[in-house]
Amino acid sequence: MGKQINYWLGYTDFLQIAQAALDCGCVIIKPVSEKLIYGQTLDIVTENQHRYYFYLQEKSGGIKNMFLPHTWH
């Protein structure tokens, strides 16, 4: 089951969130024209693209024991 959350962030702030998602095992999905581009590095994130999806494949046991790193200051 998926959940959609919409946020409006600056590019630098979004890079931090994207990296945290990658560290947790997410794949970043970037819609371009009529196709989807999948990436597992920050190279997929560009400043002029404003829509991304994060996909975390469900594994047995779920993600109960996975936490995003605490990076707030």
Separation of alpha carbons 71 and 33, rounded Å: 33
Separation of alpha carbons 11 and 18, rounded Å: 10
Domain count within the chain = 1
Separation of alpha carbons 5 and 67, rounded Å: 18
pLDDT digits (tens, 9 = 90+) for 61-72: 544 444 444 433
Q: Where residue 7 falls among pLDDT bands split at 50, 70, 90?
A: low
11 falls within a domain? no
41 falls within a domain? yes
pLDDT digits (tens, 9 = 90+) for 23-48: 988 999 999 998 999 999 999 999 98
* Residue ranges in the chain assigned as alpha helix (H): 11-23
Q: What pLDDT is stored for residue 42 in this prediction?
A: 95
**Domain residue limits at 45:** 27-64
Q: Above 80 in pLDDT, residue 56?
A: yes
